[in-house]
Amino acid sequence: MSLNTIKVTDYNWQIILNPNAQDHKGLEHWTEIAAKLDGNHIRYELHEANGSHSGMETAQKLCQEGHRHMMVIGGDGTINEVVNGIFTSGIDTHEVFLAVIPHGRGNDWARTHHYPKDYLNTVDGFLKGNFTAHDVGLTKVFQGKNQIEQRYFININSFGFSAEVIYETIYTKPKFLGISVYLLGVFLALFKHKPLPVVISSENFQYEGKPFLFAVANCKYHGDGMKQAPDASFDDGLFDVVILPQVGILTVLFKIKHIFTGEHIHKIKGVEYLRTNKLSINAEPPILGEMEGELLSPGRYEIEMLPLAFNTLTFN
């Protein structure tokens, strides 16, 4: 069966809702979303993912019970949790279909797939969207010879400065003088960040240096709309590896706009843009890494591509 012939109305969807999304408005907006789903004759069962990693646990359980059609209401973090639940459930992931009602702050993965900005318009658009096979990345973390963690991702892994922003955000809980936690994290990371020597190796290239930040990308957007990997494609079987060189604070402040437009690969001197399907990242001391707002454990990273590993709804 061609993926283009599959319609949302053909199946009963297991909806995983993050009630804490959109500043805890997930449940508040559910009544409107449910009315739209009913009006479009989309069948569903609702599951709340309330708590750390509950999205992952819920998706894993649903897959093991035989369900293959998931719908996420939440942001990039919730989507990533559900993907990890799917890929740790032990099923054949090629049988899984994922649709999303973007309901977070950044919604970066949804930008790549041209989802409507308004979550209610997304539900109406489901009748016009098509399913497509999607690449998935697998990140393994090693300390010495021992693997201590592994996580799957469909968007971007980021290392260096961007991960330090997440670190500062996590450990700077309250607002300070009216500044949001994330913006305060950016400010603190700018003054604390010290680029570390890193070796990034693959069959296609080897990089050695002290990058300001670098990303291993499946899709284009990261950090609330930054077009960090402007040429990334979610179904080409390759990661786009974008490395920003060591730069000063003023350069960051004056040229960060180019990262939002994707022009940084041409307008910031020394940026490297590489492609591979497998790579390793070594740094001593270990460099910080993050995945959709969650810090990875420190260590040596090995990242590999799982091409066309499951199916997602896209508006491309």
| CATH numbers and ranges of domains, the chain | 3-128 (3.40.50.10330), 137-307 (2.60.200.40)
CA dist 303 and 279 (Å) reads 5
CA dist 259 and 255 (Å) reads 7
pLDDT attached to residue 25: 65
- Would you give per-residue pLDDT tens digits along the chain (316 residues)? 567 677 889 899 999 998 876 555 667 789 999 999 999 999 999 999 877 788 999 999 999 999 999 999 999 999 999 999 999 999 999 999 999 999 887 799 999 999 998 888 999 889 888 999 999 999 999 999 999 999 999 999 999 888 888 887 776 655 554 445 566 667 777 777 788 899 999 998 999 999 988 999 999 998 878 898 999 999 999 999 999 888 776 666 676 777 777 888 888 888 999 999 999 999 989 999 999 888 999 999 999 999 999 999 999 8
pLDDT attached to residue 241: 97
pLDDT attached to residue 90: 97
CA dist 122 and 117 (Å) reads 8
Q: For residue 180, give every residue at least 6 positions away whose Cβ sits within 8 Å of its Cβ, in sequence order, or none.
A: none
CA dist 123 and 79 (Å) reads 17
Confirm if 268 and 258 have CB atoms less than 8 A apart: yes
Length of the chain: 316
CA dist 84 and 81 (Å) reads 5
DSSP per residue, 205-259: -EEEE--SEEEEESSS-BTTTB-SSTT--TTSS-EEEEEEPP--HHHHHHHHHHH
CA 247 to chain centre: 25
Question: Smallest Cα–Cα separation from 182: which of 238, 223, 154, 121?
Answer: 223
pTM of the predicted structure, to 2 decimals: 0.90
